[in-house]
Structure 1
């Protein structure tokens, strides 16, 4: 279901946490019914914000790159989930090809690739790494800080299949750990005889955050109706603005108007719940990741008064992808801190299962700012020991991480629906 992990919060449960914990049987059945209709992404990670008065996802990643931040105790869970995922596509699979990002100089990312490879090897698969880099022309060993070694090999295209080593390594399944921000490589197109997971349209060449959160709107409404609560408590309001050029200052008025409308909408909700905080928004590139192209906004003037440095920061994101469309998202403050630094939980999933989590921590950022920026680091959420479990007034041992796992899975379900709606070949969906 959801592992019992240690969270930063140890005080009284919030109303939404109480509701979810009390409704655990109903929630698990609700998810079982949903997974009969939808296929989860192979893997995903969800950034959450717990404001106390609401618990909501703020980003969903379909190419998670932080498996190195999970506790070692998570490997059995992750391995079982990976086995379930692979069996859907290729029950007799022997070989798995992983295609990573081009970050051969980023040791943290490469440690993630090593951990992901280890999880997949534990399922009984032969795992090798194929690189999209033109610089990788022969098998290339890369030494990691922990003493491990990764070997990247050049990809080969044989008809409609991808192989390595002159065709001697011919996988049934190809696992992308590359979000395709730089575009869709020709070598990955029109692969018909192997399963490419996630599919190409999950990459940022096609995918848009606004599409994901529209799908999440529907999921949140349906789930909240079953739970008997307000969908806003698990869903940040959001809007979309297009045809923007930050450097040339075009689309600025439309963006400022959207900001104004959304702030008024949130203010009304704050009054309904007696929240005295001042609402804020996060404006982010509609495509792309790595915390780039993001700013905090508290008034319409904030998007008109950007200086040159701020405009340059918003204009281009990872791999030189230009920003012309943005998601304007309700800012959810975080009440969680670790070591006197601002923190937010990240939930990791393989198939439909929660396999672990960790905290993103940034001592240089406030509770209303993006933490995925310079100064951040990560801290593992370990399993709760039996001696550390606390009972409530009824003597029940509640898993405080459980609500995080619920919201993470809701975002994963939204990603499933999002991929179904944007799939250019719907007949490829696996039931």
Structure 2
């Protein structure tokens, strides 16, 4: 199914897509050069917003949890990409330990774990699943909604190695974003951990990621001759926030006002007849928690108790003290009259698929990662890497090529971000 795009197909985004298609050889050569210098994360998913006049990433996840929502027809892409990722990071790997989130009641998430384990097993690895849930003290088998079973086993640490009873893995793959912090059992182990522990939300910050993305977008925009703003959302950061105690509200309101004015200048430049808006979200954390749409500084000052409580705490009870103030990017894509946004999945530096996050109860300026959402696999004919330059820019594989380019830019930024945070941590340890 090709998504119905409610924006005019002769609008600015069509011009942007055409520019990306025309520059495809240059773009792919540039990416190849980047990956010579940067190691891609093991896997990545990127939420993209398509406003018709702007195409930009709004979130980058280094512990993606939706492999069950990908089109199964392209499973081979994931398997081949996973082979390359494993060989690069841990070439001698034969046994792999997969550690998921503690969501044993979320059967859709468990289906994701099962699909991910299947992909890894198809590469020739022996894969078993360990859990951080303290109540699971023996192998526990769970039934999956789509059929099949998943067995979780308690983790065992011996010296500097982690594994399971009778299973000593060569490498560890985390599908747990460490929102609750880095567990002691994982600290200082000698096996390769993918992604690294500092990629978790215990240390990672969205503001750091978008600072890295901003630099990537500037370089890429110069390469293809576009305004960086067309692919990069403005952002700012506000620390020392306490929503429940109403501390830091004035700082947040001032920065929201500044950003709304910046966006309005760009809207005027491009003749965009839409009210600008800002997304305020927790600077650490995921699962669509701690997010609100703001259209005026007063929206920040006038939060009611329920809204303040919603913004104060995110996943695993993590208290929000820092927020990312991000330019709101409309999504004018819809499927069956419901707003939709593409989410692109990558293994190593290859695009392997994606899906539309769809929500019937949300608007084009709201967060779609919330209860009530559902997923529709992206309907590309082959992959996001195979555009048809003889077709119109809005043809299905061409639109998805543009999505793949933006997603890979965000993944490159994540790689740079992780290198920077590791260097800072090593410098601090040395000091």
TM-score calculated relative to the size of structure 2: 0.94
1:289 to 283, 286, 289: 286
- 1:149-179 C-alpha deviation (Å, 9 max, x unpaired): 00000001111111111xx211111000000
User: 2:36 matched to 1:36?
Assistant: yes
TM-fit CA distance, 1:384: 2.2
The answer for the alignment partner of 1:209 in structure 2 is: 206
When the two structures are aligned, how many residues end up with a matched partner? 417
Of 319, 322, 325 in structure 2, the residue corresponding to residue 322 of structure 1 is: 319
Structure 1: give runs of 5+ residues left out of the alignment: none
Secondary structure of the structure 2 residue equivalent to 1:253: helix
Distance 2:160 2:332 in 1: 50
State the Cα deviation string for residues 331-382 of structure 1 (Å, max 9, x = none). Answer: 0001100011000000000000000010000010000000011211111113
Greater RCO (Cα-Cα under 8 Å, separation 6 or more): 1
Pair 1:311–1:397, CA change in 2 (3 A): closer
Cα deviation 1:285-314 (Å, max 9, x = unaligned): 000000000000001000000000000000
Q: 2:317, 2:310 → 1: CA distance?
A: 11
Which structure 2 residues correspond to residues 107-146 of structure 1 after superposition, within 5 A?
107-146=107-146
Q: Does the 8 Å contact 1:334/1:367 carry over to 2? A: yes
1:273 pairs with 2:273 = no
Moved over 3 A (4+): 5-13, 389-394, 424-427
Which residue is equivalent to 2:362?
A: 365
Counterpart Cα distance in 1 of 2:420 and 2:284: 17
- Structure 2 unpaired stretches of 5+: none
Residue 105 of structure 1: CA displacement? 0.5
Partner residue, 1:417: 416
Separation in structure 1 between the aligned mates of residue 21 and residue 426 of structure 2, nearest angstrom = 36
The match for 2:164 is 164
SS at match of 2:399: coil
Alpha-carbon distance in 2 for matches of 1:297, 1:344: 19
Does structure 2 retain, via aligned residues, the 8 Å contact 1:48–1:344? yes
1-structure distance, mates of 2:137, 2:212? 41
Can you list the C-alpha shifts for 1:377-429, whole angstroms capped at 9, x where unaligned? 1111134289xx896369x99522000000000000000000000015779xx
Deviation at 1:326, TM superposition (A): 0.2
Write the distance in 2 (CA, Å) between the matches of 1:186 and 1:288.
Answer: 20
Residue in structure 2 matched with residue 86 of structure 1 by the alignment: 86
Match of 1:347 among 330, 344, 348: 344
3-state SS, counterpart of residue 355 of structure 1: strand
RMSD of aligned C-alpha atoms?
A: 1.9
| Equivalent position of 1:182 in the other structure | 180
Contact 1:390 / 1:398 at 8 angstroms: preserved in 2? no
Q: 1:15 offset after TM fit, Å?
A: 1.3
